[in-house]
Amino acid sequence: MIILGIETSCDETAAAIVENKRGVFKVRSNVVSSQIKIHAKTGGVVPEVAAREHIKNILPVVEQALKEGKATQKDIDAIAVTTGPGLITSLIVGVETAKTLAHVWNKPVVSVNHIEAHLYANFASNKKVSFPLLALIVSGGHTELILMKKHGHYKLIGKTRDDAAGEAFDKVAKILKLGYPGGPIISKLANKGNARAFDLPRPMLKDKTYDFSFSGLKTAVLYESQSKKHNFNSKKKIADMSASFEQATVDVLIKKTTRATKEHKIKTVLLAGGVAANKKLRADLKKELQTELPKVELLLPDLDYCTDNAAMIAVAGYFHARKKEFTQISKIQADPNWELSS
Contacts with ligand ATP by CB under 6 A lie at: 9-10, 86, 114, 118, 139-142, 166-167, 169-170, 181-184, 187, 273-275, 277-278, 307-308
Q: How far is the CB of 36 from Mg ion (least distance, A)?
A: 13
Q: Which does 86 bind (CB under 5 to 8 A by kind): ligand ATP, Mg ion, none?
A: ligand ATP
Minimum distance between the CB of residue 230 and Mg ion, rounded to whole angstroms? 34
| Contact (CB, 8 A) for 73 and 17 | no
Give the up-direction half-sphere exposure of residue 57: CA atoms within 13 A in the CB hemisphere. Answer: 23
Instruction: Tell me how far apart the alpha carbons of residues 35 and 49 are, in angstroms, rounded to a whole number.
Output: 9
Smallest gap from Cβ 21 to ligand ATP, in A, equals 28
Gyration radius from the chain CA atoms: 20
Q: Does 82 help bind Mg ion (rule: CB under 5 A)?
A: no
| 12 touching Mg ion, by CB under 5 A | no
3-state secondary structure of 278: coil
Answer with the entry of ligand ATP, Mg ion, none that 301 interacts with (C-beta below 5 to 8 A by kind).
none
The secondary structure of 144-202, three-state, reads EEEEECCCCCCEEEEEECCCCHHHHHHHHHHHCCCCCCHHHHHHHHHCCCCCCCCCCCC
3-state secondary structure of 111: strand
How far is residue 340's CA from residue 342's CA, in Å, rounded to a whole number?
7
> Cα(107)–Cα(58) distance, rounded to whole angstroms?
18
Query: Scanning residues 130 to 189, which ones bind Mg ion (CB under 5 A)?
Result: 139
- Minimum separation from the CB atom of position 75 to Mg ion (A): 27
User: How near is the Cβ of 230 to ligand ATP at its closest, in Å?
Assistant: 23
Q: Minimal distance in Å, beta carbon 139 to Mg ion? A: 5
Nearer to Mg ion, 45 or 189 (CB): 45
Of the pair 214, 326, the CB lying nearest ligand ATP is at: 214
Question: Residue 54 binds which entry of Mg ion, ligand ATP, none, with Cβ cut-offs from 5 to 8 Å by kind?
Answer: none
Q: Number of residues in contact with Mg ion, rule: CB under 5 A?
A: 2
- Tell me how far, at minimum, the Cβ of 163 lies from Mg ion, in Å: 15
The answer to whether 143 and 115 are in contact (CB under 8 A) is: no
Nearer to Mg ion, 88 or 222 (CB): 88
Give which of 113, 111, 116 is closest to 133, Cα–Cα: 116
The CB-of-273 to Mg ion minimum distance in angstroms stands at 6
CA distance 54 to 202: 38
Could you say which of ligand ATP, Mg ion, none residue 20 binds, taking C-beta under 5 to 8 angstroms by partner kind?
Answer: none
28/142 with CB nearer Mg ion? 142
Nearer to ligand ATP, 237 or 280 (CB): 280
What is the rounded distance in angstroms from the CA atom of residue 208 to the CA atom of residue 111? 35
Shorter beta-carbon distance to ligand ATP: residue 116 or 288: 116
Per CB under 5 A, which of residues 282..341 are in contact with Mg ion?
A: 308
Return the axis-axis angle of helices 235-263 and 182-190, rounded to nearest 10°: 100
Judged by CB, which is closer to ligand ATP: 86, or 108? 86
Please give the Cα distance from 55 to 231 (Å, whole number): 44
Compute the distance between CA of residue 114 and CA of residue 106 in angstroms, rounded to an integer.
24
With respect to ligand ATP, which residue has the nearer C-beta, 132 or 179? 179
Q: CA-CA distance, 20 to 26, in Å (whole number)?
A: 6
Binding site for Mg ion (CB under 5 A): 139, 308
